[in-house]
Structure 1
């Protein structure tokens, strides 16, 4: 990844020249920001916006200093401070990495609670309606060519997993696809929400696929819905992308409700049979 981010004092100079000086003005000292502070802020922003992803390895110190056009001691000081903040991790002889656990995910007990109460999965589906719909909208609106290529690759992996009948691989691929779409939206809050909710969303997607695979004839319809979302994003049609996302999740919700009703009917029938035997 190439980072062309030279650090200079031009913005500060413009600010200074824009100040109109008068004889009666009370002057405050204007301090040039410390170079390591500016580097620290730049790296923090790259992490915040998702350009530097969790677990990603930074360029070697010499190369990174050249990219920033700064001295290596200043860069080293900035990295040390980010390491102290828990944003970076330095491995002896292995380089510097963005921390993998940057976003504290919702607690495991909450994820387990949702798993133990299937009806709560519908609440999570409603949340997915909001998050995935707006992510698809902004991905179509703001996604770069590189973003769209990554979405295209993830979409292909989903289809391959489905063709192979590999439930686990398909569920994993769907999550990677959604991460790619959310990154393409270029909204840091959306991206952080997705990562914080990661464990719950992964569990929800996997549980949905376990049920959908009971009705394999429905998988083709689900696949066509997902294709419409993908096509709208690539065609840069935000409203169509959002609408396609809502239709896709509404269809899944309808299937899950049908399966839930079937399960309830089956349980009632079993109870009646058991009572007759007694």
Structure 2
């Protein structure tokens, strides 16, 4: 009987990398900001300097940070994702179109994430969920943490085209998430708690390697977000 291949566990460097990546993606470390000193980061993550430097080198190789001799490490400003050619959001109809497009990619990305994720990918989602949970407890919505969670799901699919699409749509999705968050906060804590529960359901399905459920709850979440924003009354986009 053929033995099932053991999946490699996330290393300490992987965990540090994903934590720092989440902070950069969510905007906690904005573009051109200097990262905390290596000594401080080593103490925060309770890892050795070599482990921390391995994580920093990975961020550097992916173009997320850069170094200045004698000054430290800095967050690199994101490049415009022009190759995919998405136009700017100019109308409320564009936000509806963005939701339509997300429904064609994110549910399948979640399904693949459930099949392919590893411990480091789960840790990245958990970091974003912690930020969302803390914000919900304070009766606010953090669209940066919201986007970081959805980006982490596409990264967990191990398909760079899903991730590239999300990155290219960052500003478009941000507009919709911001408007959605404002509508949630105006309705009191119940709406924020529902959104957090939806994100937790997505995470749990991916954690449990239930691809069909991950696809379905991701689709349900995006549809719910769209309907909460539009009040269930969509714009007729017929030509």
TMscore range, shorter length: 0.5 to 0.7
2 CA distance for matches of 1:204 and 1:150? Answer: 23
Say which structure, 1 or 2, has more relative contact order (CA 8 Å, 6+ apart): 2
1 CA distance for matches of 2:112 and 2:146? Answer: 18
Q: Is the 8 A contact 1:54 1:100 kept in 2?
A: no
Q: Does 1:252 align with 2:222?
A: no
Aligned residues between the structures:
178
Deviations 1:112-151 (A, max 9, x none): 52xxx11221111111112221221111111111111121
Unaligned 5+ segments in structure 2 are 1-9, 12-58, 235-239
**What secondary structure sits across from 2:187 in the alignment?**
helix
Q: How far 1:219 sits from its partner (Å)?
A: 2.4
1 CA distance for matches of 2:82 and 2:184? Answer: 27
**Structure 1 residues 159, 97: CA separation in 2 closer, same or farther (over 3 Å shift)?**
closer
Match of 2:164 in 1: 192
Unaligned 5+ segments in structure 1 are 3-49, 58-89, 262-278
Mapping of residues 218-257 of structure 1, within 5 Å: 218-257=191-230
Which structure has more helix as a fraction of its residues? 1
Q: What value does the CA root-mean-square deviation take over the aligned residues?
A: 3.2
Q: How far 1:224 sits from its partner (Å)?
A: 1.9
Deviations 1:183-236 (A, max 9, x none): 111111111111111111112211111122222332222222222111101111
Match of 2:31 in 1: none
Match of 1:70 in 2: none
Mapping of residues 139-150 of structure 1, within 5 Å: 139-150=113-124
Structure with the greater alpha carbon radius of gyration: 1
Mapping of residues 162-181 of structure 1, within 5 Å: 162-167=136-141, 170-181=142-153
Deviations 1:226-251 (A, max 9, x none): 22111101111111001000111111
Deviations 1:156-199 (A, max 9, x none): 211111111223xx211101111211111111111111111111
TM-score by length of 1: 0.55
TM-score by length of 2: 0.63
Q: Is the 8 A contact 1:136 1:241 kept in 2?
A: yes
Match of 2:87 in 1: 110
